[in-house]
């Protein structure tokens, strides 16, 4: 064979090999290939729903929103067997829909604020005395939640409580100096991690000193930035989530609640270093909807940099309305699809650790 022809053939074969290799590499490097915009947007939502079993209505909602996670309240929980079955049905639904597991969250703080009532979790944060006790509570709680199918606890509470505020009314805050609160939170997070679940440090930078219900009364306006060193200390235990407070801190942003403010999210990322997902407090509260509208809260939070949008959905239609609002915002160019992609890739990276 002519040498020039042989060289040409080899060159073509080499080019084909490189091209094929490049295509495979591109596919491997793009885990969102083939995803619809709606499926990507859905991963950013952690939603509540009514009922204690998988119903056709819930199934239809899932197939429309493709949510990345659910939050369980007492309205969803009867007993251990029912809860396990509900969660398994939801996980199966998600796997069949997107092939991605759900974050299954609840508020299990201890004391009065517990959803899984059959766990030995009667000690409120205000009665935790030392880091050894905090770690053991976190470990036992984590094991119990994981055994029930829950993989994400929206706790511990790290706000510095003040006498008479709405958090201390329910014994929801650790006692002591910011250093002591941070260490107790850090130990709780470590215990929960060893118990096999994700943790959420909340509510940055804090609801302390607010003596009314911010979800149903009015949006709080606070002049001073609360103490935050306890969040910085607790973050050394690498909580997977950091929840923001729906409060206007005028030193940060005079006009918008922290969760909805780019200045607020930037402040969080500057002050608390680490690898975590930013999750909103409930965006569908009575006060936020009355003051801003659900569409505004959802789109503003997403634009500000929140990764996971929590919609408790105590009002029928909230989850679908929130999903539609964010979808429309992307289609209108208020938020780019590239920004959505970045959040979803971050979420999927954390979901790799769901077992």
Each residue's pLDDT, cut to its tens digit, for the chain (355 residues) gives 443 433 333 333 333 433 333 433 344 578 899 999 999 999 999 999 999 999 999 999 999 999 999 999 999 999 999 999 999 999 999 999 999 999 999 999 999 999 999 998 999 999 999 999 999 999 999 999 999 999 999 999 999 988 888 888 789 999 999 999 999 999 999 999 999 999 999 999 999 889 999 999 999 999 999 999 999 999 999 999 999 999 999 999 999 999 999 999 999 999 999 999 999 999 999 999 999 999 999 999 999 999 999 999 999 899 999 999 999 999 999 999 999 999 999 999 999 999 8
pLDDT of residue 355: 80
Rounded Cα gap, residues 353 and 141, in angstroms = 18
CA angle (226, 228, 232) in 5-degree steps? 175
Coil/strand/helix, residue 151: coil
- H helices of the chain, where? 3-29, 37-42, 56-65, 80-97, 131-148, 178-194, 229-234, 262-271, 286-291, 294-304, 318-331, 337-351
DSSP class of 140: H
CA 155 to chain centre: 11
β-bridge partners, 243 = 279
CA angle (236, 238, 242) in 5-degree steps? 105
Rounded Cα gap, residues 295 and 302, in angstroms = 11
Rounded Cα gap, residues 215 and 203, in angstroms = 13
β-bridge partners, 248 = 221
Residues 6+ apart with CB under 8 A from 26: none
**List of domains in the chain:** 35-351 (3.20.20.300)
pLDDT of residue 28: 54
pLDDT of residue 166: 86
pLDDT of residue 165: 87
Q: How far is CA 285 from CA 70, 170, 211, 294, 309, in A?
A: 17, 19, 17, 9, 13
Rounded Cα gap, residues 97 and 70, in angstroms = 15
DSSP class of 126: G
Residues 6+ apart with CB under 8 A from 94: 62, 67, 100, 101, 102
Coil/strand/helix, residue 27: helix
Longest dimension (CA), the chain: 93
Question: What does R_g of the chain's alpha carbons equal in angstroms?
Answer: 23
The secondary element (H helix, E strand) that includes residue 248 is strand 248-249
DSSP class of 47: E
pLDDT of residue 288: 97
β-bridge partners, 244 = 204
């Amino acid at each position: 064979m002519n040498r020039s022809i042989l060289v040409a053939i080899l060159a073509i074969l080499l080019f084909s090999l490189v091209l094929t290799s490049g295509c495979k590499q591109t596919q491997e490097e793009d885990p969102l290939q083939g995803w619809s915009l709606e499926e990507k947007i859905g991963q950013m939502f952690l939603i509540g729903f009514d009922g204690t079993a998988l119903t056709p209505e819930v199934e239809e909602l899932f197939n429309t929103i493709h949510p990345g996670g659910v939050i369980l309240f007492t309205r969803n929980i009867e007993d251990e067997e029912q809860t396990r079955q509900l969660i398994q049905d939801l996980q199966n639904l998600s796997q069949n829909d997107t092939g991605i597991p759900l974050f299954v969250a609840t508020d299990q703080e201890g004391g009065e604020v517990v959803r899984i009532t059959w766990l030995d979790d009667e000690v409120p944060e205000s009665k935790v005395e030392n880091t050894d006790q905090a770690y053991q509570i976190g470990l036992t709680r984590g094991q119990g939640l994981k055994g029930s199918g829950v993989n994400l606890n929206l706790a511990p509470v790290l706000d510095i409580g003040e006498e008479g505020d709405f958090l201390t009314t329910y014994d929801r805050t650790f006692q002591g100096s910011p250093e002591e609160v941070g260490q107790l939170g850090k130990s709780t997070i470590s215990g929960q991690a060893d118990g096999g679940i994700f943790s959420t440090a909340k509510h940055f930078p804090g609801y302390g000193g607010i003596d009314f219900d911010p979800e149903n009364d009015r949006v709080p306006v606070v002049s001073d930035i609360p103490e935050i060193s306890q969040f910085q200390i607790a973050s050394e235990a690498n909580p997977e989530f950091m929840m923001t407070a729906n409060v206007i801190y005028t030193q940060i942003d005079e006009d918008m609640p922290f969760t909805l403010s780019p200045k607020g999210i930037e402040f969080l990322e500057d002050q608390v270093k680490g690898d975590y997902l930013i999750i909103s407090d409930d965006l569908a509260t009575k006060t936020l909807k009355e003051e801003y509208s659900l569409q505004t809260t959802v789109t503003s939070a997403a634009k500000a940099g929140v990764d996971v949008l929590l919609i408790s959905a105590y009002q029928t239609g909230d989850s679908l309305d929130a999903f539609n609002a964010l979808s429309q915002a992307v289609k209108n160019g208020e938020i780019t699809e590239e920004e959505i992609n970045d959040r979803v890739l971050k979420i999927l990276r954390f979901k790799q650790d769901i077992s």
